[in-house]
Structure 1
């Protein structure tokens, strides 16, 4: 997720918090991993917790 945001930031997009980007026209977009729902809502409670912690860490960084 961070890699995708960094590439777009270098291309003139404005990076914001929690994976949000703003393009040159002022439209906001959120970058979300396609497997996020599976990771957080999966059958493994410990895996779900680790995925949520990773997302929260990214939001603070």
Structure 2
């Protein structure tokens, strides 16, 4: 459903965001989005590390 976005779709989304939020709010929204993505990646990495640690413990016991 939500496949790859081309540059045309991205441009349309940015123009709509500019119209809705105005130019003064866009940097704040970008910063908040960036922080959200950073936290999500950090959480995903922590989960991957925990899984790898558990797998290593299981291999040692076997």
TM-score by length of 1: 0.30
- Higher fraction of helix: 2
Identify the structure with bigger relative contact order (alpha carbons < 8 Å, sequence gap 6+).
1
**Structure of larger gyration radius:** 2
Counting strand residues as a fraction of each chain, which structure ranks higher? 1
